[in-house]
């Protein structure tokens, strides 16, 4: 609620870290993609994408429908194996071919539908599939205490009780629970697909605050969004996709709304293509 | 972060117990309270109409009558929680009864425990078969088990008619017969019930104490003792009912063994559903199967297990059914039994769409159905009216549940 996005032009709310730190070499990035392509038969969905995701910063992935954003996050989260190209995790080359590979690295994806069970309470959802048990019996107290701790750390204070059913929560609270679940499993990169698409104004502000807190904890966040106001309010870096290629990426301060819109729609900025001229 | 949005639980004013119960009732979150009130109303009506209703003899009879509904409803719970259904539980019980009764018959002369074991293993495997077909071929369980209902009726008739005893086989084994028709001695009834109360109170108390000790919000100590107190009072009443002499010429007292089986199955089912991963996953799959799958749960494995538990419980129900009827006939109406089982579960607050319901719901629902049948039979009302009354209770129960649930904290 405090920092309502009043962004016009290129002003951007303070980044939790020194913005200069993003102009660093690939080896200091948490995750770097180099020349990643993905084709489905004859359709080339991704063409030689180079993307850098630094820890502790929010990277916004923007682009029109069909630009390849969803394909890209599915490649990063291991749902699609890339046709070619390399992944570097903290500078080391890694293979991400299955969701389990991605999970093992510490990549968590929060999908638009959040994958929560409405009939279970917050604690049960947080630990779903990863329950703490002692001699085969669920250790409810330990799970509840951990849930409370994680929610407190993320300052998710709007829920009354951690034993509330998730079905009774608001959209923003549900989003918060889904994010908290990803954080609780020690994820280092949290990917969020359209986190604010279904939310009202105050709920959106809540979620944007949460995203900033994740970055402040040193977690890398990759956000897909259609809402440029949200993007400029929360992102440290932008990556713009157009027709399967990454046409531009860099610090958010290098963009304003009109240049972002132009990149999204034409893949070029002000006539002169920017591809390759961005800081890496 | 704005603190204006904060509503910390600790900051919430403490509600009195009465207020709290009232609030939860209005929110459609009252648990079993509405249906227990409904049951009490039925009991009062029947008692006013016929003072025999609340006699020890009739109540004991009611409990044994309810056993088949309770156990079949518990069987149905496993699949209902997944949003599936098993229409064949009635004939699974019938088949289990037939296997046990025929095998202990002098012509085969199996020991009772092997006969019962084979009966229950058979129905468990049948459950596994329905589960496998449903999962592998992605068919609706309604259709698969509808075929199961028809098929098993055929199998039951085949087995029973081939004994050459005119379509019925009587129970010829003492143990099978005694399950429903013999009783614990009054002393052992006391011992059993007191042991149950002590163990259960211990768990209630320890759970609340552990939560308090960990600094988690919980009910007040008064509420804990109130729960334990209510449990104790209810148990003493039950013991007094069972232990009163209900025989006219001979002494007849104590708790029928069948009730022990009800308790055992209730304890087993509740334990699995609330304390183990399997239970948690069954609720999760029933609530949102896709979310469960993405959480890394092997959804099909737990669906299969649930179908097997349904078969197992239906098999146990069949053994008690054979004991109560004193035999097995080719005319067992498994179709009617399964519908009453589903009705029992739903009256007890189980959702047909999956994800909501408790094992105890099956018990309460089964008692409601048995109360209607027992009470109306006492009043010499014809079968026609029994069916209509059951229909009304079922409709009222789901309607009240649905109205209460609108805008409730519990969701759909």
Q: Is residue A188 in a domain?
A: yes
For chain A, what is the mean pLDDT? 82
Radius of gyration of chain A (CA): 19
The residue segments making up the domain with residue A262 are: 27-266
The more confidently predicted of residues A271 and A219 is A219
Confidence of residue B236 (pLDDT cuts 50, 70, 90): very high
Using CB atoms, pick whichever of B217, B276, B356 lies closest to residue A138.
B276
Cβ pair B296:A124 closer than 8 A: no
Q: How far apart are CA A272 and CA A269, in angstroms?
A: 6
Whether A141 shows a pLDDT value over 80: the answer reads: yes
Let me know: does B88 contact B124? Beta carbons within 8 Å.
no
What DSSP element (H or E) covers A250?
strand A245-251
Strands A43-53 and A31-40 come out as antiparallel
Let me know: does A102 contact A188? Beta carbons within 8 Å.
no
* Closest among A172, A122, A162, A242 to B8, alpha carbons compared: A162
* Amino acid B389: pLDDT: 85
Q: Distance, in angstroms, between A24 CA and closest chain B CA?
A: 31
User: Is residue A145 less than 8 Å (CB to CB) from chain B?
Assistant: yes
* Amino acid B285: pLDDT: 96
CA distances, B87 to each of A229, B75, B138, B148 (Å): 54, 11, 17, 7
Question: Would you call A158 exposed, middle or buried from its count of C-beta atoms within 10 A (0-12, 13-18, 19+)?
Answer: buried
Give the count of domains, chain B: 2
Using CB atoms, pick whichever of A1, A120, A167 lies closest to residue B283.
A120
Whether B270 shows a pLDDT value over 80: the answer reads: yes
pLDDT in tens, B140-183: 999 999 999 999 999 999 999 988 888 888 888 888 888 888 88
Let me know: does B306 contact B282? Beta carbons within 8 Å.
yes
Let me know: does B72 contact B345? Beta carbons within 8 Å.
no
Q: Is residue A192 in a domain?
A: yes
* Co-location of B308 and B244 in the same domain: no
For residue B385, give both structure tokens: 């009216």
Q: How far apart are CA B361 and CA B342, in angstroms?
A: 11
* Co-location of B192 and B124 in the same domain: no
The residue segments making up the domain with residue B239 are: 183-255
- In the three-class reduction of DSSP (H, G, I as helix; E, B as strand; rest coil), residue B161 is classed as helix
Q: Is residue A62 in a domain?
A: yes
The more confidently predicted of residues A92 and A22 is A92
* Co-location of B273 and B395 in the same domain: yes
The residue of chain A with its CA nearest to that of B407 is A168
Distance of CA B328 to the CA centre of its chain: 22
Q: What percent of chain A has pLDDT over 70?
A: 86
A121-135, A156-170, B136-150, B210-224: which range is least confident on average?
Answer: B210-224
Tell me what the mean pLDDT of segment B263-291 comes to. Answer: 94
Give the count of domains, chain A: 1
Confidence of residue B397 (pLDDT cuts 50, 70, 90): confident
Of B255, B289, B308, the residue at which a domain comes to its end is B255
Phi first, then psi, for residue B219 (nearest 5°) are -70, 160
* Closest among A19, A39, A115, A102 to B288, alpha carbons compared: A115
The residue of chain A with its CA nearest to that of B214 is A141
User: Is residue B9 less than 8 Å (CB to CB) from chain A?
Assistant: yes
Cβ pair B296:A206 closer than 8 A: no
Q: Is residue B287 in a domain?
A: yes
Q: What percent of chain B has pLDDT over 90?
A: 53
Using CB atoms, pick whichever of B2, B290, B292 lies closest to residue A2.
B2
Whether B346 shows a pLDDT value over 80: the answer reads: yes
* Co-location of B159 and B201 in the same domain: no
Tell me what the mean pLDDT of segment A169-180 comes to. Answer: 88
For residue A193, give both structure tokens: 């697909």
Q: What is the ipTM of this complex?
A: 0.83
Strands A133-134 and A58-63 come out as unpaired
Q: How far apart are CA A211 and CA A203, in angstroms?
A: 13
* Amino acid B28: pLDDT: 53
* Amino acid A22: pLDDT: 40
Which strands form A189-193's sheet, in the order they lie side by side? A107-110, A189-193, A220-224, A58-63, A237-242, A245-251
CATH code for position A105? 3.40.50.300
* Co-location of B41 and B87 in the same domain: yes
Give, to the nearest 10 degrees, the angle between helix B112-136 and helix B174-181: 70
Q: Distance, in angstroms, between A156 CA and closest chain B CA?
A: 9
Q: How far apart are CA B309 and CA A94, in angstroms?
A: 44
Let me know: does B64 contact B256? Beta carbons within 8 Å.
yes
pLDDT in tens, B308-317: 999 999 999 9
* Co-location of B74 and B129 in the same domain: yes
Tell me what the mean pLDDT of segment B210-215 comes to. Answer: 84
Chain B contacts of A201, Cβ < 8 Å? none
* Co-location of B214 and B269 in the same domain: no
Of B255, B274, B308, the residue at which a domain comes to its end is B255
User: Is residue B214 less than 8 Å (CB to CB) from chain A?
Assistant: yes
Q: Is residue B242 in a domain?
A: yes
Distance of CA B148 to the CA centre of its chain: 22
Q: Is residue A277 in a domain?
A: no
* Amino acid A38: pLDDT: 92
Q: Is residue A129 in a domain?
A: yes
Helices (H), A154-200: 171-184
Whether A27 shows a pLDDT value over 90: the answer reads: no
Let me know: does B349 contact B28? Beta carbons within 8 Å.
no
Cβ pair A129:B6 closer than 8 A: no
* Co-location of B391 and B261 in the same domain: yes
Let me know: does A230 contact A67? Beta carbons within 8 Å.
no
A70-79, A149-158, B193-202: which range is least confident on average?
Answer: A149-158
Q: How far apart are CA B259 and CA B239, in angstroms?
A: 12
* Closest among B360, B329, B354, B175 to B257, alpha carbons compared: B175
Output helix, strand, coil percentages for chain A, rounded to the nearest 5: 35, 25, 40
Give, to the nearest 10 degrees, the angle between helix B186-213 and helix B221-243: 170
Using CB atoms, pick whichever of A115, A161, A209 lies closest to residue B290.
A115
Q: Is residue B205 in a domain?
A: yes
Whether B117 shows a pLDDT value over 90: the answer reads: yes
Q: Is residue A104 in a domain?
A: yes
pLDDT in tens, B74-87: 999 999 999 999 99
* Amino acid A226: pLDDT: 84
Confidence of residue A221 (pLDDT cuts 50, 70, 90): very high
Helices (H), B30-184: 33-49, 56-80, 89-104, 112-136, 141-161, 174-181
Cβ pair A141:B210 closer than 8 A: yes
Chain B contacts of A160, Cβ < 8 Å? 7-9, 12
What DSSP element (H or E) covers B18?
helix B17-26
Give exposure, B287-321, as e/b (b: 16+ Cβ within 10 Å). bbbebbbbbebebbebbbbbbbbbbbbbbbbbbbb
Helices (H), B215-298: 221-243, 257-275, 277-287, 289-294
A34-38, B211-215, B356-360: which range is least confident on average?
Answer: B211-215
* Co-location of B344 and B314 in the same domain: yes
Of B224, B255, B286, the residue at which a domain comes to its end is B255
Whether A220 shows a pLDDT value over 80: the answer reads: yes
The more confidently predicted of residues B25 and B190 is B190
Q: How far apart are CA A78 and CA A66, in angstroms?
A: 19
User: Is residue A139 less than 8 Å (CB to CB) from chain B?
Assistant: no
Question: Would you call B168 exposed, middle or buried from its count of C-beta atoms within 10 A (0-12, 13-18, 19+)?
Answer: middle
* Co-location of B276 and B316 in the same domain: yes
- In the three-class reduction of DSSP (H, G, I as helix; E, B as strand; rest coil), residue B201 is classed as helix
* Closest among A176, A219, A166 to A196, alpha carbons compared: A176
Tell me what the mean pLDDT of segment A161-186 comes to. Answer: 87
User: Is residue B210 less than 8 Å (CB to CB) from chain A?
Assistant: yes
* Co-location of B295 and B157 in the same domain: yes
* Co-location of B64 and B76 in the same domain: yes
Cβ pair A120:B287 closer than 8 A: yes
Say which DSSP state A121 is in.
B
Confidence of residue A6 (pLDDT cuts 50, 70, 90): very low
Q: Is residue B2 in a domain?
A: no
Q: Is residue A75 in a domain?
A: yes
Beta bridge partners of A87: A33, A94
- Sequence-separated (6 or more) residues with CB below 8 Å from residue A9: A256, A257
Q: What is the pTM of this model?
A: 0.84
Tell me what the mean pLDDT of segment A11-25 comes to. Answer: 40
Distance of CA B34 to the CA centre of its chain: 17
Q: How far apart are CA A211 and CA A191, in angstroms?
A: 10
């Amino acid at each position: 609620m405090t920092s309502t996005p009043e962004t016009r032009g290129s002003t951007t709310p303070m980044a939790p870290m020194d913005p200069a730190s993003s102009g660093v070499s690939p080896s200091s990035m948490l995750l770097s993609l180099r020349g990643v392509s993905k084709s489905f038969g004859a359709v080339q969905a991704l063409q030689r994408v180079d993307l850098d995701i630094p820890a502790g910063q929010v990277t916004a992935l923007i682009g029109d429908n069909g630009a390849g954003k969803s394909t890209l996050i599915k490649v990063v989260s291991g749902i699609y194996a890339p046709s070619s190209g390399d992944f570097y995790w903290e500078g080391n080359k890694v293979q991400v071919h299955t969701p389990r590979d991605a999970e093992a690295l510490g990549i968590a994806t929060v999908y638009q539908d959040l994958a929560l069970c409405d009939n279970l309470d917050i604690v049960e959802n947080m630990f779903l599939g990863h329950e703490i048990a002692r001699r085969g019996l669920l250790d409810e107290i330990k799970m509840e205490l951990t849930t409370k701790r994680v929610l407190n750390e993320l300052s998710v204070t709007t829920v009354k009780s951690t034993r509330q059913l998730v079905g009774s929560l608001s959209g923003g609270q549900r989003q918060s629970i889904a994010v908290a679940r990803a954080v609780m499993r020690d994820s280092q990169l949290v990917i969020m697909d359209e986190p604010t698409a279904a939310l009202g104004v105050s709920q959106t502000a809540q979620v944007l605050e949460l995203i900033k807190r994740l970055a402040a904890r040193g977690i890398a966040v990759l956000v897909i969004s259609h809402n440029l106001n949200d993007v400029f309010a929360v992102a440290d870096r932008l990556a713009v996709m157009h027709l399967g290629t990454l046409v531009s990426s860099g610090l958010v301060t290098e963009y304003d709304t009109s240049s972002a819109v132009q990149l999204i729609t034409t893949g070029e900025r002000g006539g002169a293509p920017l591809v390759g001229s961005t800081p890496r | 972060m704005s603190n204006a949005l904060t509503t910390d639980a600790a900051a919430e004013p403490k509600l009195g117990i009465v207020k709290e119960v009232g609030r939860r009732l209005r929110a459609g979150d009252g648990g079993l309270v509405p249906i227990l009130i409904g049951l009490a109303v039925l009991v009062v009506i029947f008692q006013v109409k016929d003072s025999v209703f609340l006699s020890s003899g009739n109540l004991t009879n009611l409990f044994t009558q309810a056993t088949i509904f309770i156990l079949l409803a518990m069987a149905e719970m496993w699949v209902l929680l997944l949003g599936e259904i098993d229409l064949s539980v009635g004939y699974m019980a019938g088949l289990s009864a037939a296997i046990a009764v025929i095998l202990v018959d002098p012509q085969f002369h199996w020991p009772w425990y092997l006969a019962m074991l084979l009966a229950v293993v058979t129905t468990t495997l049948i459950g596994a078969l329905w589960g496998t077909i449903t999962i592998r071929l992605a068919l609706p369980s309604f259709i698969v088990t509808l075929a199961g209902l028809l098929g098993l009726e055929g199998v039951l008739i085949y087995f029973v008619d081939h004994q050459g005893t005119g379509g019925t086989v009587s129970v010829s084994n003492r143990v099978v017969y005694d399950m429903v028709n013999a009783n614990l001695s009054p002393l052992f009834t006391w011992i059993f019930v007191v042991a149950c109360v002590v163990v259960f109170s211990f768990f209630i108390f320890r759970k609340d104490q552990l939560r308090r000790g960990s600094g988690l919000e919980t009910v007040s100590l008064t509420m804990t003792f109130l729960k334990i107190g209510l449990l104790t009072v209810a148990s003493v009443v039950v013991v007094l009912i069972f232990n009163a002499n209900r025989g006219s010429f001979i002494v007849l007292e104590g708790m029928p063994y069948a009730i022990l089986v009800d308790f055992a199955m209730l304890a087993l089912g509740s334990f699995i559903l609330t304390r183990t991963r399997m239970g948690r996953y069954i609720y999760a799959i029933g609530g949102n199967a896709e979310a469960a799958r993405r959480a890394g749960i092997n959804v099909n494995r737990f669906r299969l297990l649930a179908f097997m538990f349904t078969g197992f419980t239906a098999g146990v129900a069949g053994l008690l059914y054979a004991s109560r009827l004193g035999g097995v006939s080719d005319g067992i109406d498994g179709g009617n039994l399964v519908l009453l089982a589903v009705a029992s579960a739903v009256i007890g607050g189980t959702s047909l769409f999956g994800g909501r319901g408790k094992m105890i719901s099956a018990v309460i629902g089964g008692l409601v159905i048995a109360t209607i049948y027992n009470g109306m039979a006492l009043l010499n009302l014809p079968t026609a009216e029994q069916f209509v009354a059951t229909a009304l209770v079922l409709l009222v129960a789901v309607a009240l549940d649905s109205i209460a649930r609108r805008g409730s904290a519990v969701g759909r």
